[in-house]
Amino acid sequence: MRLRIVRRIPFTEVTDRVKQYEKQFGASLDDVSNKFAEKALDQEAFDDYVEWMAMEHALGAYVEGEAFDYLTEDILDLGPKDLSKLTPKRLELLDQMSRHNADSINELASSIGRDVKNVYNDLKILESLGLIELMKDGRRMIPDLLVKEITFLTW
């Protein structure tokens, strides 16, 4: 099954990707812009350039005092093993997280009437799929929803 996912990319992941693009192209964004103007980029390099430019724009807005926000749209091809990870309980967690920002896993578990350990295990699986991020704050973990939209597509 294919999923179309619109998700927020965390700041640290964006800065890591920018560094990867700089290494991949061996140049700054401005230098790559010149190559683009000369039509010296293939389609894959052009797609990378467009994403890199959008990331730089988001980082620039952040430096100027705006909230950091970078969204990307991905198509995921999930095999039966990964698709089976999207159980009704895990989808319920995503739904609850979209409605309420929980300050802890305990709070999230309490809001849906589930055991904390089971919720934690489900969150770890959702994190492995790139749908959420678990952020450490002292001893507690704060679940952060990265997904803005999920669309199930047919083959």
Q: What is the pLDDT of residue 26?
A: 85
pLDDT, tens only, 53-102: 999 999 999 999 998 989 999 888 888 898 899 999 999 999 999 999 89
* Average pLDDT score over residue span 112-128: 96
Q: What is the pLDDT of residue 40?
A: 64
Domain range list for the chain: 2-74, 79-146
Supply the pTM of this predicted model: 0.76
Burial class (CB in 10 A: 0-12, 13-18, 19+), 55: buried
Does the 79-146 domain belong in CATH 1.10.10.10? yes
Report which of residues 12 and 41 the model is more confident about: 12
